[in-house]
Chains A and B, each alone.
Chain A
Amino acid sequence: MTDAIDRRRFIKTGVTTALGAAVTSQLPACSGTVTLPSGTGAERVYHGGNIVTMDDGHRHVEAVAIAGGKILAAGSLDEVMQTRTGATEVIDLRGKTLMPSFIDSHGHFMNAPQIVRWANVSGPPVGPVTRIADFVPILQAHVKQQGLKRGDWIIGYGYDRSNLAEGRELLASELDPAFPDNPVMLIHSSNHGAVLNSAAFAKVGYSEQTKTPPGGVINRVPGTQKPAGFIMETAFLPIFANMPQPSETELLDTLDAAQQIYARAGVTTCSEGATHAKDLKFLRKGADEGRLYLDIVSLPLILEVPALIREYAPDFKGGPMDLPDEAPKAFGSYRNRLKLQGVKAPTDGSPQGKTAFWTQPLLTPGPGGETNWRGQPLFPPEVVNKALKAVFDKGIQVFTHANGDAAIDMIIDAARLAGVRADQDRRTVIIHSQCMRPDQLPKYAELGFSPSFFTMHTFFWGEEHTANLGPERAAFISPMKSAIAQGLVCSNHTDFSVCPMDPMRVMWSAVTRRSRAGTVIGPDERIDRWESLKALTINAAWQIREEDRKGTLTPGKLADLVILDSDPLTVETDKILDIQVVETLKEGKSVYRRTAA
């Protein structure tokens, strides 16, 4: 099992009650204890390591005690040991790092049940594939692990020719010998194409006779019309859309594996950051069946809110933009670990897909070859203004997706029209805020906006952004340093499964802003390690109004903890990426423990 951690039990009888009663004084945050009902004490005490509180006042403590799923005490070893009872388990961290577990400030939890059923055929750092010969063994292991039978689809994600030493597309004929009877589909990292084997082509009805649809690609075996393996765009998307879907029971059964994606990364609060009605129904079912052991924060998509909150207002007869008075009741509290926190209002697409909405054109052609392309909003400004006003007026928290500066301008306009001000403490979260302009930062401050940045773009798409936006605009993507200087509370996210669930890589990207090619994208926007960790803990808690229960090691907060094998505040910069999670605890209960190597 673990056990880098030394567990010893201290059995002392007769002092329990006295000690329990002795530690009732309320001390300042992060160095103190909370009131205990008489007769109780610490269930567990951690000491002997590097304990990082994530509290600006007291960054480190010697020991932490937990009880009843909460933090009971944090402070000097002497202080904390006063909470010890005969039944207290005392754990020596042996130099490891204990800190608040991470909060996923924006991602798509509903991608997890899907991904756990698929093989990871990405290249480093996301996956293991570097050459053609890697595919068959990885897929064979996946078949075994998933217990797939003859005829079942084998699906992989993250396929990309650019990861392969051979520099060419994988061929159906290279998959056929190992998988003659199973259709195989390896989805391209863009989600716009895939490699299929012959069984898969037969299954979807692609043959020599299939014409390539307009806007599509079907690679052919040289000298023939036989599909070679790789297909793209309009030749792929309809096939993908019509793939057989797993049953609800099958999906419910993946919830454990789905949560493990988070738990093994040290994350105990997951974001479902764009929830459709059917997804919410599924999550509610999973929650009510007791399948969730991590917290899930769901943001229903704005267009579906009236349908979603019908249970709170069954007789409501408003139009699509109206909300019933009861609407706010649906938000803000957990039921069986699932919480609706606010409404998600998407306003544009993605910068790497060139579907974001900018004020100034890109330096490169648009996705359809357009010149002077500056993207498009998803909705007309009139619609955004009206829809957001309805949500603001009801006091429901707004989370918008906005990547381009023009999309951000639209949100700023809408908030101003709705009379939004910083002193109202609405905590409007602008997810991504990727291509901000400097003049938008003071407007965020004026309106009380809080950005959830996505600094991993500097690594994964740094070169693309420089080409599309030019070096000056690219240097200001996810401008975390400037936002903090403006006094804004910033979180930082993975947008899982757009990027892997890897908080240490998020931190590293905020600290280094280094691209795949090694260029620093916007050196002035690099931030220090402490701030980069706050963006993954206390600031993320604040954005979902849980700063009183999560994000720091403060007595009274939940014992949501992560133990890391080294200290992210002091290891060599590039070693941040190698930091391993030793154990993750949700409310004091272990939800992941690294097995000994």
Chain B
Amino acid sequence: MTGHLPFTVIGGYLGAGKTTLLNQILTQAAGRRMAVLVNDFGSVNIDASLIRDHDGDTIALTDGCLCCSLVNGFAAAIASILARAGDFDHVIIEASGVADPAKIAQYGQMYELPLDGILVLVDAEQIRTQATDGYVGDTVLRQLAQADLLIVNKTDLVTTSDLSELRGWVSGQAPGTPVIEARHSDVPLEVLFGYAHERVAFRPAAAFPPHPEAFRTWTLEWERPLSLEEVERLASGFGEGVYRVKGFVALESDPDRRQVYQQVGARWTLEPGESWGTSDRRTKLIVIGRAEAGPDPVDAAAAMTGGQHDLA
């Protein structure tokens, strides 16, 4: 019953922007029905016009999303979500500022929810100080090490040289973990979700929220089926400026089914999905990258395999 409700843990120390991110998720879910479990109900600041019902520990939104307080404990909150699991597409759990997000992830797995990913927000301005704090320094460093995706937030508050130094420091704390940068927790939802490989929530690129400064989105398409080597070449061809790639691949060697392609940073997977049915048998990938990186990384990758891209 619950096996298809992926969940995401959002961690990070106090002030890193978790609540801002949650507010964005709630108001920009655009058709994906999110159940969001938060620590501090009072700080979630939802536009009153979006609220359908406010009942004690839950706020129901007009678009099917739900915000639920963790004040009575994780078990109670998750039980109320699972009681109506069919009403949601995704569960998001806000870890408290001092929690180990990996532990929260383990709680979720107790309920047989597939873990979609652990996102950890980092306050670009404060993180170095926090990491040496006598009370919480070790906790902050553990949070970084547990992330599947690190979001270095509030980059507008630091100088370019500090930021580039910070990049090095962060990758030293969490080697191999993809890192993206953001201001005001402004990250496209497509970057945040879909780590779980069981299903892909696919939306047309046009529905992406506006985020002109930091991110850029491309759609790549191929008319002909790709070989496995071509997919491998493509995957390693996306440069550093690409955060996230997802979509379906038409694979030469398996013509009847579509293949689900997922990539975060350098990590990627390709897994058999459902049959094509009546849909168009063509490879279509959505690529999200850093705007400053320019079109080059995507161009290069696409050129290797003869793909075409539009700037979305």
- Residues of A whose CB lies within 8 Å of any CB of B are 213-216, 234, 237-238, 241-242, 276, 278, 303-304, 306, 319-320, 357, 359, 368, 374, 376-383, 406, 409-410
Contact = CB atoms under 8 A, between A and B. Distances in A.
B75 A238 contact: yes
Contacts of B98: 376-380
Contact of A214 (B75, B109, B135, B138): B109
Interface string B87-114: 0000000001111100100100111100
B43 interface: yes
Contacts of B13: 380
8 contacts: A213-B110, A215-B110, A241-B79, A242-B75, A376-B99, A379-B98, A380-B14, A380-B97
Nearest to A321: B42
A383 B71 CA distance: 16
B135 A381 contact: yes
A216 B110 contact: yes
Closest 4 pairs between A and B when the two form their complex, measured CB to CB: A241-B75, A320-B42, A234-B110, A380-B14
Interface residues of B, number: 30
B109 A215 contact: yes
B228 interface: no
Interface of B, helix, strand, loop or mixed by DSSP: loop
B201 interface: no
Contacts of A409: 135
Contacts of A406: 135
Interface of B: 13-15, 40-43, 71-72, 75-76, 78-79, 96-100, 103, 106, 109-112, 133-136, 138-139
A382 B14 contact: yes
B106 A215 contact: yes
Contacts of B43: 319-320
A410 B133 CA distance: 12
Contact of A237 (B75, B96, B112, B134): B75
Nearest to B71: A303
B14 A214 contact: no
A381 B79 contact: no
B236 to A, nearest CB: 31
Given A320-B41, A368-B103, A406-B135, A234 B72 contact: no
B120 to A, nearest CB: 15
A376 B106 contact: no
Nearest to A357: B135
Given A215-B106, A368-B100, A379-B97, 14 more contacts: A237-B110, A276-B72, A303-B71, A306-B42, A319-B42, A357-B135, A374-B138, A376-B139, A380-B13, A380-B97, A380-B136, A381-B133, A409-B135, A410-B135
A559 B75 CA distance: 43
Contacts of A382: 14-15
A46 B98 CA distance: 56
B110 A377 contact: no
Contacts of A304: 71
A447 to B, nearest CB: 18
Contacts of A376: 98-100, 139
Q: Output the residue of B14, B97, B136 with the most chain A CB within 10 A.
A: B136
B110 A238 contact: yes
Nearest to B139: A376
Nearest to B110: A234
Nearest to B40: A320
Contacts of A276: 71-72
A379 B135 CA distance: 10
A597 to B, nearest CB: 43
Nearest to B72: A276
A419 B111 CA distance: 46
Contacts of A234: 106, 109-110
Given A320-B43, A376-B98, A242 B103 contact: no
Nearest to A215: B106
B168 to A, nearest CB: 25
A215 B99 CA distance: 18
A457 B99 CA distance: 26
Contacts of A278: 72
B79 A214 contact: no
A555 to B, nearest CB: 46
A381 B112 contact: no
Contacts of A320: 40-43
Q: Output the residue of B43, B78, B103, B135 with the most chain A CB within 10 A.
A: B135
Contacts of B75: 237-238, 241-242
Contacts of B110: 213, 215-216, 234, 237-238
B136 A381 contact: yes
A238 B138 CA distance: 29
Contacts of A303: 71
Nearest to B39: A303
Contacts of B96: 378-379
Nearest to B115: A214
Contacts of B76: 241
A213 B78 CA distance: 17
B83 to A, nearest CB: 9
Nearest to B138: A374
A377 B109 contact: no
Contacts of B103: 368
A242 B79 contact: yes
A309 B109 CA distance: 36
A23 B71 CA distance: 56
Q: Output the residue of B40, B42, B103 with the most chain A CB within 10 A.
A: B42
Contacts of A214: 106, 109
A238 B111 contact: yes
A237 B136 CA distance: 28
Nearest to A413: B135
A238 B136 CA distance: 30
Contacts of B72: 276, 278
Contacts of B109: 213-215, 234
Nearest to B100: A376
B91 to A, nearest CB: 14
A427 B72 CA distance: 29
Nearest to A359: B134
A16 B145 CA distance: 81
